[in-house]
Structure 1
């Protein structure tokens, strides 16, 4: 099996790490700039020099850090509580620094956490989280605008943070939609693979069993009629019944072996159907098919045209199954004692034609699974298929199977 491609380094980093790094970097910078190494100016509205002098302020800063780091650690496993912790820790920064305005840089970590939550949770949950975040921003902005609480030396940061929150929600929503779409496509592909496998098994069972039952019915009927007068002929007919039954049993074992050995996720049409010691039938088996059917009482004349060469197994097996099913319909429904099979090995395609002069396939064959199975086989190989009564009487089945250029 092919190894899973390794993700780029940036994508292998958990989202909680990004949240923690962004928040801590934005938190450590003002501490270093305004507390550890004070600058020449004595006052900053955003970060006052003596903002962390009190024990209460330091305790709030420590609590905020613990909340955000805990939320970052839980972000992948529990996005909802993790997001609440990151948001709560970011809000606590304002009273820690004696601020009335939300800290813009630290709020980027909240936006990252919101994007992760939106990508992982249903839309109702993510919209509620985004609304709560916008409500927090409004709680900082509206008192200053309506009542003049605190100072405002410039453009407020909350509108820009609100825009970032909306963008983060849109990004997370797009990621979730892409994931849901990919899961839906995988489910459809799995369902299609199961359906294709079921159809393939149905075709194989129908083609093997229906032909054998037709031969067995003819031979058993012949044996019943001559068992008293010509016991040697009855013995010969019963021998043909035994041989046909053994061949069908071998085919069933071959199919079951292939099903047991198929790799998970492998294309059903690419699964080999010829595990040793039961090789899949091909063009070389058409003559033996004609001999067995002729011995059962319906003469099958095979005409070969063109140069016979090795074909891919799927083409050879499909050609054999088409001839087998067409001959079976002749035996069961045509009401005639002969048919003609023409196999034309051309350079770019393999042409097959089975004609008879009987009464046609009848309602049972026309509405059964035989013609449908033949049409499906040809369609899987991107060929052409025709099945219709002939103007002069009888029925005609024709198929053209393209041969890959590398085989020609």
Structure 2
């Protein structure tokens, strides 16, 4: 309401000013001496031309036509055509340039200026003074049009800047929400793989200890000792994961390296301590993997073996790593029930598929025709650019393979 009232007051003030200018211009004689009072023709021109001014925002072309006709009739009615007499036309020219497309506004303003000049030249007395008045009458609406066009361009520029800022802010918010969602999924995957693996091993070791507590106390004591080690490892990994989440900027403490296939022997040893016999086979030449792909490969093996321990109902599993020029194929199989009978939908298989897809590969998981369950993932292997790095990682991979095979005599 306040803005609308202020606009009405500004509009009334502008109309009153234009009306007063018309009357002032109407008292000027041809010899530039003023009359004692405005004649009736001046009142007529002022009333008609100013009465339509409030409509100039909605119909600027029509209002310009009315004010131009009033200016054309100034000389035939016995008045002197001056810029102040055509003040309503000047005001309308500004509004026309602000609210109308450039080509239309330019044509209308040139036509209005031409009509005013022609009327002054046709009905007036030729003289240098008359010519100077004609030039001023033509110039004022054109200058007002230029100022209106400048104001229109400035408004358009400010609107474009505001729109770009609004879109940029919206894009930043969308990007922030997307990154938060991705980070939450990544954290959920890491915590799921970590907790599921360690808790599964701890549960298996506690079950063995409880089973042998009375009959074979030495074996129970050994299982409890291994349980202490498993829970200690779980706490350490959980602490490292939480510490990673607490890092802020460049001042954070350096995090421990993410696990990769180089830690595969340690991972398999933890499953063997829990009672799962794991055999490993590697084919091809081991190639270096980027940290993200290396972590994905490790987590897939970890989660697949965790599912075997929890759901397969068998005491053995097989891990196969097939290295080719552009990809590595990871296969984990067992001879168990062939399904994953969880009471509620879990996220282990979903997490493995998400990891494989994020790394640029794909994963298959399902029952085998000959019985048991199969998890197979293909991950990309980028071309090695550093021969020394390739040799170093290859040696590490072969050492891991030898250690794993050495721990299992029935490696197929």
TM superposition score normalised by structure 1: 0.60
Q: Is 1:329 matched with 2:307?
A: yes
Report the CA distance shift for 1:374/1:227 in structure 2 as closer, same or farther (over 3 A): same
Return 5+ residue gaps in structure 1 as ranges: 1-79, 101-130, 265-271
Q: 2: distance between equivalents of 1:304 and 1:200?
A: 29
Show the counterpart of 1:251.
237
- CA deviation map 1:293-352 (0-9, x unaligned): 122111111112222243222111111110000000000001111110011232212211
- CA deviation map 1:218-270 (0-9, x unaligned): 11111111112222111111121111111111111111221122439xxxxxx
Give RMSD over aligned pairs. 4.0
1:296 to 260, 269, 274: 274
Whether the aligned pair in 1 keeps the contact of 2:97 and 2:152 (CA below 8 Å) is no
The 3-state SS of whatever aligns with 2:341 is helix
Return 5+ residue gaps in structure 2 as ranges: 24-53, 75-84, 101-148, 391-412
The 3-state SS of whatever aligns with 2:249 is coil
Greater relative CO, 1 or 2 (CA 8 Å, sep 6+): 2
Q: CA deviation at 1:388?
A: 1.1
Moved more, 331-340 or 305-314: 305-314
Whether the aligned pair in 1 keeps the contact of 2:288 and 2:384 (CA below 8 Å) is no
Matches within 5 A, 1:54-133: none
Whether the aligned pair in 1 keeps the contact of 2:327 and 2:381 (CA below 8 Å) is yes
1:389 to 367, 380, 385: 367
Q: What is the aligned residue count? A: 288
Whether the aligned pair in 1 keeps the contact of 2:22 and 2:86 (CA below 8 Å) is no
Q: 2: distance between equivalents of 1:287 and 1:132?
A: 86
Show the counterpart of 1:362.
340
Show the counterpart of 2:260.
282
The 3-state SS of whatever aligns with 2:57 is helix
Report the CA distance shift for 1:151/1:362 in structure 2 as closer, same or farther (over 3 A): closer
Whether the aligned pair in 2 keeps the contact of 1:134 and 1:162 (CA below 8 Å) is yes
Q: CA deviation at 1:363?
A: 3.3
Report the CA distance shift for 1:262/1:217 in structure 2 as closer, same or farther (over 3 A): same
The 3-state SS of whatever aligns with 2:360 is coil
The 3-state SS of whatever aligns with 2:228 is helix
Show the counterpart of 2:319.
341
Q: CA deviation at 1:180?
A: 2.5
Q: Is 1:134 matched with 2:57?
A: yes
Show the counterpart of 1:162.
99
Task: Name the larger-Rg structure.
Answer: 2
Whether the aligned pair in 2 keeps the contact of 1:302 and 1:341 (CA below 8 Å) is yes
The 3-state SS of whatever aligns with 1:157 is helix
The 3-state SS of whatever aligns with 2:375 is strand
Q: 2: distance between equivalents of 1:253 and 1:229?
A: 37
Report the CA distance shift for 1:151/1:212 in structure 2 as closer, same or farther (over 3 A): closer
Q: CA deviation at 1:179?
A: 2.8
- CA deviation map 1:125-184 (0-9, x unaligned): xxxxxx9993797998477347547248x9973433433366655554444333322222
Q: 2: distance between equivalents of 1:134 and 1:311?
A: 68
